Structure 1
């Protein structure tokens, strides 16, 4: 896979790009600043259920935080975390419409290349 602490490092870089302090992030996520620091440095594991919210808060997608080496796992999740969560709440028939729209858009794009 990849080195321990890689996710934390990428999340820290995203947080800094957003000009957010560890204290500000901890307040938004409801954690202690020391927990943020330990997770970003790889000392403490990042809970899977926290990762989408953390990504959304610092403006990075799950695919970006996992990196190019694991991007293939996210091919079916083309949305940022907030959109993915909203998408997950839609009824199945609406999701099918979205799939068809994406497929049609892809075919149109492909035909114009």
Structure 2
């Protein structure tokens, strides 16, 4: 399920699986090709608000892009990219509430399972 490598590597691999060029992705994200290349290679940081849109464009979930080495309670949940983008737009207090609900639900499931 999870691929080895950096976040940029995973995004590049997902883009290639979709048979999408750097130029096509750049156009879709409103960026220039050199920015995409720099982000995929780790030369330039990927803005947090761009990540859900990028994931949606290349058909990968946030959980897949974060990878197994960075699993935390948010990345463990394979939010579809559309929901991840909506989540990222919520005020911080709402996101904290969602985290608590997810954590509580998981703990309950572990006890009952």
Larger-Rg structure: 1
If the TM-score is normalised by the length of the shorter chain, which range does it land in? 0.5 to 0.7
Structure 1 residue ranges (4+ consecutive) displaced by more than 6 angstroms after TM superposition = none
Task: Tell whether 2:97 aligns with 1:80.
Answer: no
Provide structure 2 residue ranges, at least 5 long, that are not aligned to the other structure. 95-100
With over 3 angstroms needed to count, the CA separation of the structure-2 counterparts of 1:66 and 1:86, relative to structure 1, is closer
Q: Whose RCO is larger (CA < 8 A, sep 6+)? A: 2
SS of 1:73's partner is coil
Give the structure-2-normalised TM-score: 0.67
With over 3 angstroms needed to count, the CA separation of the structure-2 counterparts of 1:6 and 1:78, relative to structure 1, is closer
Deviation of the 1:37 alpha carbon: 0.4
Q: CA RMSD in A?
A: 2.8
Provide structure 1 residue ranges, at least 5 long, that are not aligned to the other structure. 93-98
Paired with 1:75 and 1:41, the residues of 2 have a C-alpha distance of 22
Give the structure-1-normalised TM-score: 0.67
More helix by share: 1
